[in-house]
Structure 1
């Protein structure tokens, strides 16, 4: 790979472009969009916008002379100015995207970035490896139960 230092804007742009050509962003978008309409934040935002539009339209009487495009644009501007979309989208992101970042998106991005930075040096892995760590056996004492060790679960990770 090139001798660009980590964080260099050119290197970052090259990596982002590579992720795009691999279709990763499209896959993430599809995964998130598949979940959006089931989340409470989306359903709440949709209800708020529907109510807002209905209330606004209730103040207008339909006539053949009514300029529907102008009315539509006016409603769109009012919805944008209300701030409800920004708040609602933030909540949707928190419910749809945030839970996927560390367990789904990050391992896939890291794998492709490793392949990009060192092509041919990594064997394709089914699962991303666990970060090396040392887990120490411990005992919890529960005075209210007369003390003694709690159930222990040990996981050994080669480091």
Structure 2
């Protein structure tokens, strides 16, 4: 770890693994999932999927010989192919995750990263300001890594 430069993929991977072992991603997932079902994007997506499934099922006649597993898999594929999930999930992330990034997630991530990089010398003070170009680069790296990881864990 000592010789790895900031932004090195191996260092980023080690930090993400450390964040996971600290339970931070699980906490973020719980926080986000607690809010999901109250957001308009989720309710809208749920209604759209319910309507899509109802319309599809209205074209089928039930019989005891109907292969429910095959019908279920067919509907699942049609929903995935429709693209409504991708759009809906993007809106859900915008409503649930985005508002929490700067005020809730970032301070906790920064604290754990400081502890990881300098064990025993962690202070609650924010990191020293960087020049604007380096700050933007650091934010893009952190937000990209964090958001990708968060999305994966929140939506699992």
Unaligned 5+ runs, structure 1? 133-159
Please state how far the C-alpha of 1:7 moved relative to its aligned partner.
Answer: 1.0
The answer as to whether partners of 2:32 and 2:96 remain within 8 angstroms in 1 is: yes
Q: What does residue 71 of structure 2 align with? A: 71
Q: Deviations over 1:62-108 (max 9, x none)?
A: 00110000000000000000000000000000000000001110110
| Shift, 1:9, TM fit | 1.2
1:131 Cα deviation (Å)? 7.1
Length, aligned pairs only: 129
Task: Give the Å deviation of 1:8.
Answer: 1.1
Q: Distance in 2 between matches of 1:18 and 1:27?
A: 14
**Cα RMSD, aligned residues only:** 1.5
In the alignment, what sits opposite 1:143? none
Return the alpha-carbon distance in structure 1 between the equivalents of residues 90 and 11 of structure 2: 29
Distance 1:131 1:11, change over 3 A: closer
**Match in the other structure for 1:81:** 81
* Bigger Cα Rg: 1
- Give the structure 2 partner of residue 19 of structure 1: 19
How far does residue 14 in structure 1 lie from its aligned partner after superposition? 0.8
Residue 4 of structure 1 corresponds to 4
Structure (1 or 2) with the greater helix fraction? 2
* Structure 2 residue ranges without an equivalent (≥5): 130-156
Residues 39 and 92 of structure 2 are in contact (CA less than 8 Å); yes or no, is this contact kept in structure 1? yes
Aligned position for 1:59: 59
Pairing of 1:83-102 with structure 2 (within 5 A): 83-102=83-102
Distance 1:47 1:97, change over 3 A: same
Q: Relative contact order (C-alpha < 8 Å, sep 6+): which is higher?
A: 2
Residues in 2 aligned to 1:18 and 1:130: alpha-carbon distance in whole angstroms: 19
